[in-house]
Amino acid sequence: MFKDDPVAVAEFRQYELELRETARIEQEELKLKDRLVEIRKNKNITQKELESRTGLSQQAISRFETGSGVNLSTIIKYAEGIKCMLMPVDIEIIAE
């Protein structure tokens, strides 16, 4: 049985930790996305203007803003397009 196999239990626990970390990162990305969209709107930059500044299609910008196209590459381009500088804070480096 699974619970009797210490290697399987350890692998499962590692898998659970990785899933939690992935979920945490996704939540942080969504919070960052929300803040960037707020800044774009406060600066009165339209999605069309942002399209010409970033090379991202208006569809990609819309997907990003609704949360379905959030990834690091898009975050960086979006931030540059609205003239925001991203600065990492409280980065933890863990060596194995």
Domains and CATH numbers, the chain: 2-81 (1.10.260)
Q: Residue 15: is its pLDDT beyond 80?
A: yes
CA angle 47, 48, 52 (to 5 degrees): 115
pTM: 0.75
pLDDT score of 10: 85
Tens of pLDDT, residues 25-77: 888 888 999 999 999 999 999 999 999 999 999 999 999 999 888 888 999 99
Largest CA distance in the chain: 60
